[in-house]
Structure 1
């Protein structure tokens, strides 16, 4: 069983060098794969200077997304299994050995990150909040290594070195072949954010088992090359907003939804306004409207790879969607517009909750109903989330 550590780079050379040095102290021959797009701090020159037969690397001066970066890593890797890593982390002793004990072709393993209390109020499975330094200069390496040994011993004593989970994050290891079959990460999320939620949803829909390796430990300084980097610190909120909108465009629901079903929704928007279109557009497969969409498309198209000119159609266009939802924007207030977020769930419950044969017959005979100002007609209840597991979509 072989592993490759995949590391996407964007400046912050000092952290990359630290990651490389600390990893080589533990694992002199494990394959390291570095990919950098448009680093300008000497990262590319440093990569060229490496004299290491167990490093593969690639760089370009053009800008690419985080998904593009890790997809290139997956392509370059030669091991059976790959580990998505960050350059702002330090692996604990036993990291690979503990991972190998758990890894199979049908598993995603989330490794455990020990982090300073930067996001202490944001708990998630596989995170331990323990402060061993917020940066390289303050990092208490020996104290962290001892903590990791103690944590591993405690877990061994209790007999619990892994737990199953339905939640995950980008700190994972899985089969390289599986990722290649699925088309890797989706560059729709540009420059970043939501690509991990998207991938994990696809893996879950495919039926891959997900577990947290409690003894697969590393220290994570937290977002040194993303949220808190010099390049992105002032743009993080904007990038998150546009990534969340693109996730909804792809899947039809928020990335925290409990019911992962994608219905083919055609939104019929009459007396359209720009505010209504901005709120509603991501939630529909096609929008039919009497509003001239040109100003909206001009403003929004730079933030999505989905072709909005093809997505937003005139009211006279043929309507071929499985579910048609109609709304008169003139009669809808802001609160009603925001209810669009719940329509997938309303449709799902309408189709699955009626237990009596009389209600089922009624819904078949009268497939149209109203809900909070929306008129909903179910023509074909087929869901399409499974179609998004494998293929690499062409959004244009």
Structure 2
């Protein structure tokens, strides 16, 4: 039986993807599968590399939203646990064993994120949602349990139990292209009574925006449209902080 499914979406960026896969292969010791979703890469070398490197591979010939691509990977997954990971991450030794600890102690654990520089303030919108105070003091605690509805994490690297993720209907596909689908899923977990943790014992390097660079100037508009036109109307009644 497969314990862990790791799902990553690739859009070109060969060298970054090589680094990600190398770290996964080197530092993942549990029984796992690596699922790579090719969201219409154009570079032939990248396409061949990820096709040959994946345990499971799927290619979209027409570029789809990140939600749809994640959901395709989730549908292919066979593991009890499932990670969605940006392909510009680098994992450390024993990352999975440490990352799953909150699931071992909390039956209502829904999502666990490692520590990254991108989630250091735990904010959904840093202008509106307050970060945890005395952040670095929190490293003294084993796990950081987020406050429901006013603290969140980005979807750069998240660990789930696949069964729960399927029960909650995976990622909402109402968000075009990318942006806000991750915090929408976070709020779905909150709504259904699950807890969300950051595990500071695991630091995962994240280069950041490797794929978003492909969107160029459209990135900010896509985020604003998705957040303000879809996410806020959908979830505002649950939190005064959005």
The TM-score with structure 1 as length reference comes to: 0.50
| Residue matched to 2:143 | 162
Contact 2:65 2:177 in 1 (8 A): yes
| Residue matched to 1:3 | 4
Matched, 1:77 2:77: yes
Distance (whole Å) between structure 2 residues aligned to residue 60 and residue 49 of structure 1: 16
Contact 1:7 1:34 in 2 (8 A): yes
Distance (whole Å) between structure 2 residues aligned to residue 92 and residue 165 of structure 1: 23
| Residue matched to 2:204 | 218
Give the drift of 1:252: 6.0
Give the drift of 1:254: 8.6
The 1:247/1:254 distance shift into structure 2, 3 A limit, reads farther
Q: Secondary structure at the match of 1:49?
A: helix
| Residue matched to 1:106 | 108
Distance (whole Å) between structure 2 residues aligned to residue 177 and residue 85 of structure 1: 18
Q: Secondary structure at the match of 1:103?
A: helix
Contact 1:110 1:168 in 2 (8 A): no
Deviation digits for residues 49-82 of structure 1 (CA, Å, limit 9, x no counterpart): 33x6xx2121121121000011111111111111
Contact 2:108 2:195 in 1 (8 A): yes
Contact 2:9 2:69 in 1 (8 A): yes
Distance (whole Å) between structure 2 residues aligned to residue 30 and residue 80 of structure 1: 10
Give the drift of 1:213: 0.6
Runs of 4+ in 1 over 6 A off after TM superposition: none
The 1:207/1:234 distance shift into structure 2, 3 A limit, reads same
Q: Secondary structure at the match of 2:64?
A: coil
| Residue matched to 2:181 | 195
The answer for unaligned runs of 5 or more in structure 2 is 124-135
Distance (whole Å) between structure 2 residues aligned to residue 123 and residue 23 of structure 1: 23
Give the drift of 1:103: 2.1
Give the drift of 1:236: 0.9
The alignment of Structure 1 onto Structure 2 pairs a total of residues equal to: 217
Matched, 1:125 2:122: yes
The 1:62/1:161 distance shift into structure 2, 3 A limit, reads same
Q: Secondary structure at the match of 1:243?
A: helix
Deviation digits for residues 149-203 of structure 1 (CA, Å, limit 9, x no counterpart): xx9xx95xx4x22021122221321111111111110111110111011111110
Distance (whole Å) between structure 1 residues aligned to residue 60 and residue 103 of structure 2: 33
| Residue matched to 1:258 | 240
Contact 2:28 2:95 in 1 (8 A): no
Superposition pairs for residues 139-288 of structure 1, below 5 Å? Answer: 158=140, 160-166=141-147, 167-169=151-153, 170=155, 171-226=157-212, 229=213, 231-244=214-227, 245-249=229-233, 251=234, 253=236, 257-258=239-240
* Bigger Cα Rg: 1
The 1:34/1:254 distance shift into structure 2, 3 A limit, reads farther
Q: Secondary structure at the match of 1:125?
A: coil
Q: Secondary structure at the match of 2:100?
A: helix
The answer for unaligned runs of 5 or more in structure 1 is 116-121, 127-150, 261-396
Superposition pairs for residues 13-28 of structure 1, below 5 Å? Answer: 13-27=14-28
- When the two chains are superposed, the root-mean-square deviation of aligned CA atoms in Å is 2.6
Distance (whole Å) between structure 1 residues aligned to residue 93 and residue 208 of structure 2: 20
Deviation digits for residues 236-292 of structure 1 (CA, Å, limit 9, x no counterpart): 11111221212235x16399x4279xxxxxxxxxxxxxxxxxxxxxxxxxxxxxxxx
Quick one: higher RCO (CA 8 Å, sep 6+), 1 or 2? 2
Contact 2:99 2:113 in 1 (8 A): no
Contact 1:125 1:212 in 2 (8 A): no
